[in-house]
Structure 1
Amino acid sequence: MSEYSEENNILHRDLSFSYRLLRPANASGECLFVLHGSGVDETTMLPLARQIAPRAVLVAARGRIAQEDGFRWFERITPTSFEQSSIRAEEAAFAEFAAVAAKRHGLDLQRATFLGYSNGANLVSTLMLLHPGLVRQAALLRAMRVLDDTPAPDLAGTRVLIIAGAADQTYGPFAPALVTLFSQRGAAVDARIVAAGHEFGDADAAIVRQWLAGATPVA
């Protein structure tokens, strides 16, 4: 298991988004930006991220919109419809945050992977559409299309992994449209289905780990 320095217990609050930076002593040079789902915080995705890439530097950010006892990334109207102005404002702020955080901590965004779950995955997918070139590699767990007016950037050279849950009755039906959207914009898309609902688990970790290694994931 990787060992982490004392700095990893710190919640950084000096940028536009609060975040934790986890840098293992035996860091491999990999970097994951980790974005949580709604109603929780940045710590909930850390066990999954460590399982996927135990030697990677992790940047676990916290959404700025309060929801129940946790946070989310932008305002929602219903579980599957979202406030468009909030999406665009938070996306712009996060794009700036990612660039500044990467520069501050010596991370190469061109080699980073953005790992998002549910509302966090929606933020990552939209980030690719509104700020093309910032995200070159993304793993999206239980994601859906959230923009009403979707731009059409050229995403050639971008790798996208989309993992849907077979029993996810809320987001699952929207996964094929997201796969089509990114394929039409030139991204290299790997679409997978796991025997799960909206929750993530070991099957997701195994698929993402193999995908990052360049192997063919098996759901």
Structure 2
Amino acid sequence: MSTDSYIHKVLPGSPGGPLLFVFHGTGGDEGQLVPLGRDLAPQATIISPRGDVSEQGAARFFRRTGEGVYDMQDLARATRKMAGFVKAQIAAAKPSAIYALGYSNGANILASLLFEAPDLFDAAVLMHPLIPFEPEVNGSLAGRRILVTAGRRDPICPPNLTSRLEAYLRADGADVTVEWHEGGHEVRPNEIEAARRLFAGVAQGVSDA
């Protein structure tokens, strides 16, 4: 798979440093999460692909037939394509560590990547994911650090499905942290701080190795 299989933005970081892939929400683009990525991982090279599906003009990473109802065939297609894109970028960069962050629809494609290729990322942040199906993990998530963030009043991602996703990830061996806030689908400062702690902790572990 080519490094150019998605329209994407690259913000260079320190040579030989980590890669951070960021995946936007519905209606976002390749610029949406780049500033957040730089804030969370200052040394990382940020890679931000644009979703290749249009829903009434809004970019997404895979199709859906209704709110919370996924086109599972297109999700499988998108997951395979994105895995190829990520692997090509990793092969080209040879980074010290590989991080990922996704919000909303971006969190959903990232979660699907974790299920399909659990050894792809050293750490991942899923902001307000919605996984309305029982995933099958292609291997083990043992040793992978995953942060899930969520709102207790999120009308799009019900808290019970967040808790169910946490249970799936834990059952497959992931080191999971869940960061809640009392609001809805918006990103709040405590989520950002939790993501910063996660990436900083992984970076410290890499430097100590």
TM-score by length of 2: 0.87
Q: Which residue in the other structure is 1:18 paired with?
A: 7
Q: Which residue in the other structure is 1:122 paired with?
A: 108
Deviation at 1:63, TM superposition (A): 0.8
Is 1:31 the counterpart of 2:1? The answer is no
- Paired residues of 1:39 and 1:68 also in contact (CA < 8 A): no
- Paired residues of 2:116 and 2:137 also in contact (CA < 8 A): yes
Deviation at 1:204, TM superposition (A): 2.0
Structure 1 residues 57-66 or 47-56, which shifts more?
A: 47-56
Secondary structure at the aligned position of 1:43 is classed as coil
Is 1:63 the counterpart of 2:55? The answer is no
Q: Which residue in the other structure is 1:77 paired with?
A: 65
- Paired residues of 1:156 and 1:185 also in contact (CA < 8 A): yes
- Unaligned ranges ≥5, structure 1: 1-12
For 2:172 and 2:8, the matched residues in 1 are separated by 31
Secondary structure at the aligned position of 1:51 is classed as helix
Deviation at 1:126, TM superposition (A): 1.0
Q: Which residue in the other structure is 1:189 paired with?
A: 176
Structure 1 residues 83-92 or 27-36, which shifts more?
A: 27-36
Is 1:52 the counterpart of 2:40? The answer is yes
Deviation at 1:149, TM superposition (A): 5.5
Amino acid at match of 1:16: S
Q: Which residue in the other structure is 1:8 paired with?
A: none
Q: Which residue in the other structure is 1:214 paired with?
A: 201
For 1:83 and 1:149, the matched residues in 2 are separated by 14
The number of equivalent residue pairs is 200
For 2:130 and 2:171, the matched residues in 1 are separated by 16
Deviation at 1:212, TM superposition (A): 1.7
Deviation at 1:46, TM superposition (A): 1.6
Deviation at 1:62, TM superposition (A): 0.8
Change (3 A) 1:208 1:149: closer
Structure 1 residues 46-55 or 86-95, which shifts more?
A: 46-55
For 2:51 and 2:121, the matched residues in 1 are separated by 18
| % same residue | 28
- Paired residues of 1:74 and 1:87 also in contact (CA < 8 A): yes
Amino acid at match of 1:19: H
For 1:46 and 1:172, the matched residues in 2 are separated by 27
- Paired residues of 1:126 and 1:146 also in contact (CA < 8 A): no
Q: Which residue in the other structure is 1:159 paired with?
A: 145
Matches within 5 A, 1:77-156: 77-104=65-92, 106-108=93-95, 111-147=97-133, 150-151=136-137, 153-156=139-142
- Paired residues of 1:154 and 1:185 also in contact (CA < 8 A): yes
Greater RCO (CA < 8 Å, at least 6 residues apart): 2
Change (3 A) 1:14 1:132: closer
Could you tell me which of 162, 178, 187 is aligned with 2:165? Answer: 178
